[in-house]
Amino acid sequence: MNRKIFVFLIVILLTGCGIVKKKSTYGKERTVTVAASEKDSLTTEEKIPDSKVTVVVLEKADLIINTAMAYSGVRYKYGGTTKKGMDCSGLLYISFGENDIPLPRVSSQMADEGKKIKLNKVTKGDLLFFKTTKRGKKINHVGLVVAVDGRDIKFIHATSSRGVIVSSLQEGYWNYAFVKATRVL
């Protein structure tokens, strides 16, 4: 029984931001889209209600998500911030930076930014933080929430095995490694 648990934990550790190399899709052109609902869009003909800040935040979140999604399929590269290679914090550093919101470059420092929020209050544009190593005591992985459908939270991030992808927080590995969520917008 103990051996099965040990083997299971080793497999989990190796499949996150770790060593295991999976089949790559780097050479293929990938297209991922996130559809915005009509209520999230803002046109010049609409009157802005008293909740002006909420409308602007949703628009800014969509811009940041679209920037991040443009890197979908890019291979993983530690310290990378370009289409040639990207790591998890580099993806968010670039996505927020290109939309005039400065963030620290490292995920553990990003975790100190913004306001901590409960998981059931997460919306598009929020950040999810993870600890993917058993011995590590600090946050070493970050993702950007791209969609929330009930309890299913989808986030974009860069993994060492598959590059920039969209995952679900309901996946066992990410659910287990989850530490906290923050809102910077």
Which residues form the catalytic set? 88, 141, 157
Helix (H) or strand (E) holding 13: helix 2-15
Helix (H) or strand (E) holding 146: strand 141-149
DSSP structure string for 88-139: HHHHHHHHHHTTT----SSHHHHTTSSEEE-GGG--TT-EEEE--SSS--S-
Which whole-number Å values give the CA distances from 136 to 7, 50, 62, 119, in the listed order?
A: 19, 45, 33, 22
DSSP, res 36: P
Contact 108, 92 (CB under 8 A): no
Give the number of other Cβ atoms within 10 Å of residue 83's Cβ: 12
